[in-house]
Chain A
Amino acid sequence: MALPKHLQNGLTPDELTFLAEEETIDIVPLFSMTRVRLLSGIYGPFTPPSSAKVPLWLALSLKRKRKCRIVPPEWLSIDRVQNVLKEERENAESFCSLPRRFIEISKVLLDVAQDDSMQPSLLRSLLKDLREVRQAKIRIGLQSEGVMRGSYLQVTNLTPLELSELKPFLVKAMGIMQSLEPRGDDDEDEEEGQ
Protein backbone atom coordinates (compact mmCIF):
# COMPACT_ATOMS: atom_id res chain seq x y z
CA MET A 1 0.00 0.00 0.00
CA ALA A 2 1.20 3.45 -0.70
CA LEU A 3 -0.04 4.87 2.59
CA PRO A 4 2.44 5.00 5.46
CA LYS A 5 1.86 2.21 7.92
CA HIS A 6 0.24 4.26 10.65
CA LEU A 7 -2.42 5.57 8.30
CA GLN A 8 -3.32 2.27 6.73
CA ASN A 9 -5.77 1.09 9.27
CA GLY A 10 -7.95 4.00 10.17
CA LEU A 11 -8.93 7.61 9.78
CA THR A 12 -6.85 10.57 10.81
CA PRO A 13 -8.18 12.88 13.54
CA ASP A 14 -8.80 15.55 10.92
CA GLU A 15 -10.93 13.21 8.87
CA LEU A 16 -12.84 12.20 11.97
CA THR A 17 -13.47 15.85 12.78
CA PHE A 18 -14.81 16.33 9.28
CA LEU A 19 -17.21 13.45 9.80
CA ALA A 20 -18.20 14.79 13.20
CA GLU A 21 -19.23 18.09 11.68
CA GLU A 22 -22.29 16.44 10.21
CA GLU A 23 -24.04 16.54 13.56
CA THR A 24 -26.74 19.13 14.09
CA ILE A 25 -26.36 21.86 16.63
CA ASP A 26 -28.39 24.87 17.74
CA ILE A 27 -27.40 28.35 16.82
CA VAL A 28 -28.84 31.78 17.42
CA PRO A 29 -28.38 33.63 14.15
CA LEU A 30 -27.42 37.28 14.12
CA PHE A 31 -28.90 37.84 10.72
CA SER A 32 -32.22 37.33 9.09
CA MET A 33 -32.86 34.99 6.26
CA THR A 34 -35.67 32.86 4.95
CA ARG A 35 -35.30 29.18 4.50
CA VAL A 36 -32.33 28.31 2.38
CA ARG A 37 -31.78 25.22 0.35
CA LEU A 38 -28.26 23.82 0.36
CA LEU A 39 -27.01 20.64 -1.23
CA SER A 40 -27.32 18.77 2.00
CA GLY A 41 -30.76 19.96 2.97
CA ILE A 42 -33.01 22.85 3.76
CA TYR A 43 -32.12 25.05 6.71
CA GLY A 44 -33.75 28.02 8.33
CA PRO A 45 -35.58 30.27 8.52
CA PHE A 46 -33.02 32.35 10.38
CA THR A 47 -34.86 34.87 12.53
CA PRO A 48 -33.05 36.26 15.57
CA PRO A 49 -33.44 35.77 18.45
CA SER A 50 -34.96 32.33 17.98
CA SER A 51 -32.60 29.43 17.53
CA ALA A 52 -32.21 27.28 14.47
CA LYS A 53 -30.88 23.78 13.92
CA VAL A 54 -28.03 23.55 11.48
CA PRO A 55 -25.20 21.11 10.86
CA LEU A 56 -22.04 21.80 12.76
CA TRP A 57 -19.98 22.75 9.75
CA LEU A 58 -22.47 25.43 8.85
CA ALA A 59 -22.55 26.68 12.43
CA LEU A 60 -18.76 26.91 12.53
CA SER A 61 -18.62 28.69 9.23
CA LEU A 62 -21.20 31.25 10.33
CA LYS A 63 -19.47 31.67 13.65
CA ARG A 64 -16.17 32.43 11.98
CA LYS A 65 -17.91 35.16 10.02
CA ARG A 66 -19.47 36.38 13.25
CA LYS A 67 -22.96 35.76 12.01
CA CYS A 68 -24.29 33.62 14.82
CA ARG A 69 -23.89 32.43 18.35
CA ILE A 70 -23.52 28.73 19.00
CA VAL A 71 -25.55 27.08 21.73
CA PRO A 72 -23.37 24.36 23.28
CA PRO A 73 -25.01 20.94 23.30
CA GLU A 74 -26.41 19.92 26.65
CA TRP A 75 -23.74 17.28 27.25
CA LEU A 76 -21.07 19.94 27.10
CA SER A 77 -21.94 21.67 30.35
CA ILE A 78 -19.49 21.81 33.23
CA ASP A 79 -21.69 19.68 35.46
CA ARG A 80 -22.18 16.92 32.98
CA VAL A 81 -18.50 16.73 32.15
CA GLN A 82 -17.60 16.69 35.81
CA ASN A 83 -20.02 13.84 36.41
CA VAL A 84 -18.60 11.87 33.53
CA LEU A 85 -15.10 12.47 34.81
CA LYS A 86 -16.06 11.23 38.26
CA GLU A 87 -17.68 8.13 36.84
CA GLU A 88 -14.68 7.49 34.64
CA ARG A 89 -12.35 7.68 37.61
CA GLU A 90 -14.48 5.37 39.71
CA ASN A 91 -14.88 2.77 37.04
CA ALA A 92 -11.50 1.18 36.66
CA GLU A 93 -12.73 -1.66 34.50
CA SER A 94 -14.80 -0.10 31.78
CA PHE A 95 -15.32 3.15 29.95
CA CYS A 96 -18.24 5.51 30.34
CA SER A 97 -20.57 5.83 27.44
CA LEU A 98 -19.95 9.16 25.74
CA PRO A 99 -21.71 10.79 22.82
CA ARG A 100 -20.03 9.34 19.79
CA ARG A 101 -18.37 12.49 18.55
CA PHE A 102 -17.79 13.92 21.98
CA ILE A 103 -14.10 14.66 21.69
CA GLU A 104 -14.13 16.13 18.21
CA ILE A 105 -17.15 18.34 18.78
CA SER A 106 -15.95 19.58 22.14
CA LYS A 107 -12.54 20.46 20.77
CA VAL A 108 -13.90 22.24 17.73
CA LEU A 109 -16.41 24.20 19.77
CA LEU A 110 -13.79 25.26 22.26
CA ASP A 111 -11.55 26.41 19.45
CA VAL A 112 -14.06 28.36 17.44
CA ALA A 113 -16.83 29.31 19.85
CA GLN A 114 -14.98 29.99 23.05
CA ASP A 115 -17.12 32.93 24.04
CA ASP A 116 -20.30 30.90 23.77
CA SER A 117 -19.45 28.22 26.27
CA MET A 118 -19.34 28.92 29.94
CA GLN A 119 -15.94 28.93 31.59
CA PRO A 120 -13.96 27.63 28.63
CA SER A 121 -10.70 27.22 30.50
CA LEU A 122 -12.30 25.07 33.19
CA LEU A 123 -14.05 23.05 30.52
CA ARG A 124 -10.80 22.59 28.65
CA SER A 125 -8.97 21.30 31.67
CA LEU A 126 -11.83 18.96 32.55
CA LEU A 127 -11.81 17.54 29.06
CA LYS A 128 -8.07 17.09 29.20
CA ASP A 129 -8.38 15.19 32.48
CA LEU A 130 -11.09 13.03 31.01
CA ARG A 131 -8.92 12.21 28.06
CA GLU A 132 -5.99 11.30 30.28
CA VAL A 133 -8.06 9.01 32.47
CA ARG A 134 -9.37 7.17 29.46
CA GLN A 135 -5.90 6.89 27.93
CA ALA A 136 -4.56 5.41 31.13
CA LYS A 137 -7.34 2.83 31.09
CA ILE A 138 -6.61 2.00 27.48
CA ARG A 139 -2.96 1.46 28.29
CA ILE A 140 -3.81 -0.87 31.13
CA GLY A 141 -6.24 -2.72 28.90
CA LEU A 142 -3.53 -3.18 26.30
CA GLN A 143 -1.65 -5.35 28.75
CA SER A 144 -4.69 -7.35 29.70
CA GLU A 145 -4.93 -11.07 29.28
CA GLY A 146 -6.94 -11.08 26.11
CA VAL A 147 -4.35 -9.03 24.30
CA MET A 148 -1.47 -11.06 25.63
CA ARG A 149 -3.07 -14.14 24.22
CA GLY A 150 -3.52 -12.34 20.97
CA SER A 151 -7.25 -12.91 20.94
CA TYR A 152 -9.19 -9.77 21.75
CA LEU A 153 -9.35 -6.36 23.34
CA GLN A 154 -12.48 -5.08 25.01
CA VAL A 155 -13.28 -1.68 23.53
CA THR A 156 -16.88 -0.97 24.48
CA ASN A 157 -17.59 2.72 24.74
CA LEU A 158 -14.43 3.95 23.15
CA THR A 159 -14.95 6.87 20.80
CA PRO A 160 -13.86 6.60 17.15
CA LEU A 161 -10.98 8.97 17.77
CA GLU A 162 -9.46 6.81 20.48
CA LEU A 163 -10.06 3.71 18.41
CA SER A 164 -8.31 5.06 15.36
CA GLU A 165 -5.33 5.98 17.51
CA LEU A 166 -5.21 2.48 18.88
CA LYS A 167 -5.90 0.45 15.79
CA PRO A 168 -2.72 0.47 13.68
CA PHE A 169 -0.53 -0.54 16.59
CA LEU A 170 -2.87 -3.17 17.95
CA VAL A 171 -3.64 -4.75 14.60
CA LYS A 172 0.02 -5.17 13.76
CA ALA A 173 0.92 -6.48 17.20
CA MET A 174 -1.87 -9.04 17.12
CA GLY A 175 -0.90 -9.98 13.59
CA ILE A 176 2.60 -10.81 14.73
CA MET A 177 1.27 -12.77 17.70
CA GLN A 178 -1.05 -14.74 15.49
CA SER A 179 1.65 -15.61 13.03
CA LEU A 180 3.78 -16.93 15.87
CA GLU A 181 1.10 -19.30 17.10
CA PRO A 182 2.00 -22.97 17.03
CA ARG A 183 0.89 -24.61 13.83
CA GLY A 184 -2.05 -26.99 13.65
CA ASP A 185 -3.42 -25.87 16.97
CA ASP A 186 -6.97 -27.01 17.58
CA ASP A 187 -9.35 -24.43 18.93
CA GLU A 188 -9.21 -24.54 22.66
CA ASP A 189 -12.61 -24.25 24.25
CA GLU A 190 -11.61 -21.94 26.99
CA GLU A 191 -14.05 -19.68 28.71
CA GLU A 192 -12.85 -16.13 28.32
CA GLY A 193 -13.71 -15.12 31.82
CA GLN A 194 -14.15 -11.35 32.06
Chain B
Amino acid sequence: MDDDYYSLNSILAENHKLSCSFTLDVEGLGYLEGGTENNIHQHSKVELPFWLAQTLSLNEFTTFPLPPPYSNRVKAALNASAQSVKLSNLVGGNGWWYRWGRRIADVLDDEPQADLLNTLLKAFINRLPALQDLSAHHASADHTLPESSTSTTETFRDGMEGDERELFAIGQESGKMTRNWYDSNGSRKGGR
Protein backbone atom coordinates (compact mmCIF):
# COMPACT_ATOMS: atom_id res chain seq x y z
CA MET B 1 0.00 0.00 0.00
CA ASP B 2 1.39 3.36 -0.82
CA ASP B 3 1.39 5.98 1.86
CA ASP B 4 2.53 8.44 -0.72
CA TYR B 5 1.52 11.99 -0.03
CA TYR B 6 -0.08 12.13 -3.45
CA SER B 7 -1.78 8.77 -3.32
CA LEU B 8 -5.43 9.36 -4.02
CA ASN B 9 -6.45 6.20 -2.25
CA SER B 10 -4.68 7.26 0.91
CA ILE B 11 -6.26 10.70 0.78
CA LEU B 12 -9.72 9.23 0.43
CA ALA B 13 -9.12 6.72 3.19
CA GLU B 14 -7.86 9.31 5.60
CA ASN B 15 -10.90 11.42 5.05
CA HIS B 16 -13.08 8.96 6.86
CA LYS B 17 -14.42 10.31 10.12
CA LEU B 18 -13.28 9.18 13.52
CA SER B 19 -15.23 9.83 16.66
CA CYS B 20 -13.01 11.38 19.33
CA SER B 21 -13.42 13.29 22.57
CA PHE B 22 -11.55 16.42 23.40
CA THR B 23 -9.50 16.47 26.57
CA LEU B 24 -9.80 20.18 27.12
CA ASP B 25 -11.96 23.16 26.33
CA VAL B 26 -11.26 24.82 23.04
CA GLU B 27 -12.53 28.26 22.26
CA GLY B 28 -13.95 29.26 18.96
CA LEU B 29 -13.90 25.86 17.28
CA GLY B 30 -17.49 25.07 18.11
CA TYR B 31 -18.40 24.71 14.44
CA LEU B 32 -16.51 21.41 14.34
CA GLU B 33 -19.27 19.89 16.37
CA GLY B 34 -21.80 21.04 13.85
CA GLY B 35 -23.90 22.76 16.46
CA THR B 36 -24.30 26.42 17.28
CA GLU B 37 -21.94 26.55 20.25
CA ASN B 38 -18.93 28.81 20.08
CA ASN B 39 -16.62 26.61 22.12
CA ILE B 40 -15.89 22.94 22.48
CA HIS B 41 -16.14 21.62 25.99
CA GLN B 42 -13.92 19.05 27.56
CA HIS B 43 -15.07 15.45 27.06
CA SER B 44 -17.41 16.36 24.23
CA LYS B 45 -17.49 13.87 21.39
CA VAL B 46 -16.80 15.16 17.92
CA GLU B 47 -16.58 13.39 14.59
CA LEU B 48 -13.43 14.48 12.85
CA PRO B 49 -11.77 13.34 9.60
CA PHE B 50 -8.84 11.14 10.39
CA TRP B 51 -6.12 13.45 9.11
CA LEU B 52 -7.27 16.03 11.64
CA ALA B 53 -7.86 13.54 14.40
CA GLN B 54 -4.39 12.08 13.98
CA THR B 55 -2.53 15.33 14.64
CA LEU B 56 -4.81 16.26 17.51
CA SER B 57 -4.40 12.85 19.13
CA LEU B 58 -0.65 12.80 18.73
CA ASN B 59 -0.55 16.09 20.58
CA GLU B 60 -2.94 14.67 23.15
CA PHE B 61 -5.75 17.14 22.57
CA THR B 62 -8.17 14.34 21.84
CA THR B 63 -8.56 10.70 22.66
CA PHE B 64 -10.55 8.08 20.85
CA PRO B 65 -11.68 4.51 21.41
CA LEU B 66 -11.14 1.81 18.84
CA PRO B 67 -13.62 2.70 16.09
CA PRO B 68 -16.49 0.33 15.15
CA PRO B 69 -14.98 -1.16 11.96
CA TYR B 70 -12.39 -2.83 14.15
CA SER B 71 -14.61 -3.77 17.05
CA ASN B 72 -14.68 -7.16 18.70
CA ARG B 73 -17.81 -8.04 16.78
CA VAL B 74 -15.99 -7.65 13.48
CA LYS B 75 -13.01 -9.51 14.85
CA ALA B 76 -15.15 -12.45 15.89
CA ALA B 77 -16.79 -12.57 12.47
CA LEU B 78 -13.37 -12.58 10.84
CA ASN B 79 -12.17 -15.36 13.08
CA ALA B 80 -15.19 -17.43 12.17
CA SER B 81 -14.95 -17.03 8.42
CA ALA B 82 -12.76 -14.28 7.05
CA GLN B 83 -14.06 -14.65 3.53
CA SER B 84 -17.69 -13.99 4.28
CA VAL B 85 -17.20 -10.70 6.05
CA LYS B 86 -18.25 -7.73 3.98
CA LEU B 87 -15.38 -5.31 4.32
CA SER B 88 -16.54 -2.97 1.62
CA ASN B 89 -19.04 -0.94 3.60
CA LEU B 90 -17.25 -0.80 6.92
CA VAL B 91 -15.13 2.20 6.12
CA GLY B 92 -16.59 4.89 3.94
CA GLY B 93 -17.61 4.90 0.30
CA ASN B 94 -15.18 2.59 -1.36
CA GLY B 95 -14.16 0.70 1.71
CA TRP B 96 -10.56 1.25 2.71
CA TRP B 97 -10.59 -1.02 5.73
CA TYR B 98 -6.95 -1.99 5.59
CA ARG B 99 -5.64 1.48 4.91
CA TRP B 100 -7.67 3.19 7.58
CA GLY B 101 -6.79 0.50 10.06
CA ARG B 102 -3.13 1.02 9.37
CA ARG B 103 -3.36 4.73 9.90
CA ILE B 104 -5.21 4.21 13.15
CA ALA B 105 -2.61 1.70 14.26
CA ASP B 106 0.06 4.32 13.78
CA VAL B 107 -1.55 6.42 16.48
CA LEU B 108 -2.19 3.64 18.96
CA ASP B 109 0.16 2.47 21.67
CA ASP B 110 2.20 -0.67 21.28
CA GLU B 111 -0.14 -3.35 22.45
CA PRO B 112 -3.42 -2.32 20.82
CA GLN B 113 -1.36 -1.46 17.77
CA ALA B 114 0.11 -4.94 17.46
CA ASP B 115 -3.32 -6.39 18.07
CA LEU B 116 -5.01 -4.34 15.39
CA LEU B 117 -2.28 -4.97 12.84
CA ASN B 118 -2.46 -8.65 13.57
CA THR B 119 -6.20 -8.67 12.94
CA LEU B 120 -5.73 -6.86 9.64
CA LEU B 121 -2.93 -9.15 8.53
CA LYS B 122 -4.76 -12.34 9.40
CA ALA B 123 -7.90 -11.16 7.68
CA PHE B 124 -5.97 -10.31 4.54
CA ILE B 125 -4.12 -13.63 4.50
CA ASN B 126 -7.30 -15.58 4.97
CA ARG B 127 -9.05 -13.76 2.17
CA LEU B 128 -6.16 -13.96 -0.25
CA PRO B 129 -6.73 -17.51 -1.60
CA ALA B 130 -10.34 -16.72 -2.42
CA LEU B 131 -9.22 -13.52 -4.10
CA GLN B 132 -6.63 -15.35 -6.19
CA ASP B 133 -9.04 -18.03 -7.29
CA LEU B 134 -11.67 -15.48 -8.17
CA SER B 135 -9.32 -13.37 -10.22
CA ALA B 136 -7.87 -16.37 -12.06
CA HIS B 137 -11.37 -17.58 -12.80
CA HIS B 138 -12.43 -14.24 -14.16
CA ALA B 139 -9.29 -13.90 -16.21
CA SER B 140 -9.98 -17.03 -18.18
CA ALA B 141 -13.65 -16.53 -18.87
CA ASP B 142 -15.64 -13.58 -20.03
CA HIS B 143 -17.84 -12.83 -17.09
CA THR B 144 -19.20 -9.35 -17.13
CA LEU B 145 -22.47 -10.20 -15.45
CA PRO B 146 -22.56 -11.98 -12.12
CA GLU B 147 -23.56 -15.56 -12.44
CA SER B 148 -25.31 -17.61 -9.84
CA SER B 149 -22.48 -19.03 -7.81
CA THR B 150 -22.17 -20.35 -4.29
CA SER B 151 -23.07 -17.92 -1.59
CA THR B 152 -19.55 -17.49 -0.21
CA THR B 153 -18.12 -16.43 -3.56
CA GLU B 154 -20.94 -13.97 -4.09
CA THR B 155 -20.59 -12.42 -0.64
CA PHE B 156 -16.87 -12.32 -1.05
CA ARG B 157 -17.05 -10.58 -4.37
CA ASP B 158 -19.48 -7.98 -3.08
CA GLY B 159 -17.61 -7.51 0.14
CA MET B 160 -14.17 -6.98 -1.33
CA GLU B 161 -12.44 -4.03 0.15
CA GLY B 162 -10.83 -1.25 -1.91
CA ASP B 163 -7.31 -2.63 -1.99
CA GLU B 164 -8.59 -6.15 -2.58
CA ARG B 165 -10.58 -4.91 -5.53
CA GLU B 166 -7.47 -3.33 -7.02
CA LEU B 167 -5.57 -6.55 -6.49
CA PHE B 168 -8.36 -8.48 -8.13
CA ALA B 169 -8.37 -6.14 -11.13
CA ILE B 170 -4.62 -6.49 -11.54
CA GLY B 171 -4.77 -10.26 -11.45
CA GLN B 172 -7.66 -10.34 -13.86
CA GLU B 173 -6.01 -7.95 -16.33
CA SER B 174 -2.69 -9.73 -16.48
CA GLY B 175 -4.43 -13.08 -16.84
CA LYS B 176 -6.60 -11.70 -19.62
CA MET B 177 -3.60 -10.24 -21.40
CA THR B 178 -1.82 -13.58 -21.44
CA ARG B 179 -4.93 -15.40 -22.55
CA ASN B 180 -5.52 -12.99 -25.41
CA TRP B 181 -1.96 -13.41 -26.52
CA TYR B 182 -2.35 -17.18 -26.56
CA ASP B 183 -5.56 -17.01 -28.53
CA SER B 184 -4.35 -14.51 -31.07
CA ASN B 185 -2.94 -16.10 -34.15
CA GLY B 186 -0.21 -13.57 -34.67
CA SER B 187 -1.34 -12.68 -38.15
CA ARG B 188 0.21 -9.52 -39.37
CA LYS B 189 -0.72 -7.44 -42.35
CA GLY B 190 1.64 -8.56 -45.10
CA GLY B 191 5.26 -9.39 -44.43
CA ARG B 192 7.29 -7.47 -41.89
Contact = CB atoms under 8 A, between A and B. Distances in A.
User: How would you classify the secondary structure of chain A's contact residues: helix, strand, loop or mixed?
Assistant: helix
B173 A13 contact: no
Task: Name the interface size band of chain A.
Answer: 35 or more
B192 A60 contact: yes
Contacts of B132: 139, 142-143, 169
B124 A177 contact: yes
B121 A64 contact: no
Contacts of A181: 117, 121
Interface size of B as a range: 35 or more
A65 interface: yes
A57 B178 contact: no
Interface stretch (B43-51, B66-74, B181-189): B181-189
A139 B170 CA distance: 16
Contacts of B125: 148, 177
Contact of A4 (B120, B173, B186): B173
A172 interface: yes
Contacts of A166: 174
A6 interface: yes
A37 interface: no
B159 interface: no
Contact of A161 (B98, B171, B178): B178
Interface in A1-43: 4-6, 12-14, 17
A107 to B, nearest CB: 7
Interface string B146-185: 0000000000000000010011011101110110011001
Contacts of A61: 191-192
Contacts of A118: none
Contacts of A14: 181
A176 B191 contact: no
A111 B186 contact: yes
B93 interface: no
B167 to A, nearest CB: 5
A173 B136 CA distance: 14
B117 A64 contact: no
Interface in A155-193: 161, 164-169, 172-173, 175-177, 179-184
B1 A175 contact: yes
A180 B182 contact: no
Nearest to A175: B1
A91 B136 CA distance: 23
A98 interface: no
16 contacts: A6-B177, A13-B177, A14-B181, A60-B192, A61-B191, A64-B192, A107-B182, A107-B186, A111-B186, A112-B186, A167-B174, A169-B174, A172-B167, A172-B170, A176-B163, A182-B121
Closest 3 CB pairs of A and B: A13-B181, A6-B173, A169-B171
Given A5-B170, A6-B169, A143-B128, 19 more contacts: A4-B173, A5-B166, A12-B181, A13-B178, A64-B191, A107-B186, A111-B186, A165-B174, A168-B174, A169-B174, A172-B170, A173-B128, A175-B1, A176-B167, A179-B102, A180-B102, A180-B124, A181-B121, A182-B117
